[in-house]
Amino acid sequence: MTKIIGLTGGIGSGKTTVAHYFQELGIPIYIADDEARILMESKAVLNAIRTTFGDAAFDGFILNRQKLAAIVFNDAQKLAALNAIVHPAVRQHFEAWLLEHKEDSFVIYEAAILFESGNYKNCDCVITVTAPVEARILRVITRDNTTREAVLKRMTMQWSDAERIAKSDFVIQNTSLKTTKSKIVKILNFLKIKQN
């Protein structure tokens, strides 16, 4: 039976980079945030977003993600309401994707809010990726063309590294690509030995 390796970390920690290295090693990866973005364009999800948040999140018939982000990242209850729409759609999509990979020994399920959503309960083990806070902030500012304040606000909406680490089976300190890749290989070898 396919083992699900949960992969998480705070914004800017480099978890997607880690996921892609697992992919290079032959492990299928499911990037939940990417799939959520795609699923948010589906008619059912768009209708639910409009019903919940009204026209403020839209430009006519088109979802304006920046407007939606401004609404939800300032209000924990509104963020929870959005997650209640998107997470079930992602979960259903992942289950269908998992069936396509039932011959694989392992798959990676990468999600920023793996613990907050409760999806960690569906994983056989969890890896948390960490990085120094300043490095994370700079990565996100560069990647998203955003402000320091906006990044810090998003960080406060997520669990802390300490909270994630306390519930994780493995931790990758993502400070250099060489040591990160070495740690990934060690984790994968350990999991393969454990499975045999």
Residue 54 among known ligand-binding residues: no
Residue 147 among known ligand-binding residues: no
Evaluate the CA torsion angle 183, 188, 190, 191 in order and state its sign.
Answer: positive
Whether 170 and 126 have beta carbons less than 8 Å apart is answered as yes
Evaluate the CA torsion angle 98, 101, 107, 112 in order and state its sign.
Answer: negative
Report the length, in residues, of the chain. Answer: 196
Report which residue type is found at 83. N
CA distance 22 to 31: 12
Residue 186 among known ligand-binding residues: no
Residue 168 among known ligand-binding residues: no
Residue 13 among known ligand-binding residues: yes
Strands 58-59 and 62-63: what pairing? antiparallel
Residue 14 among known ligand-binding residues: yes
Q: Which residues are annotated as a binding site for ATP?
A: 12-17
Q: Which residues are annotated as a binding site?
A: 12-17
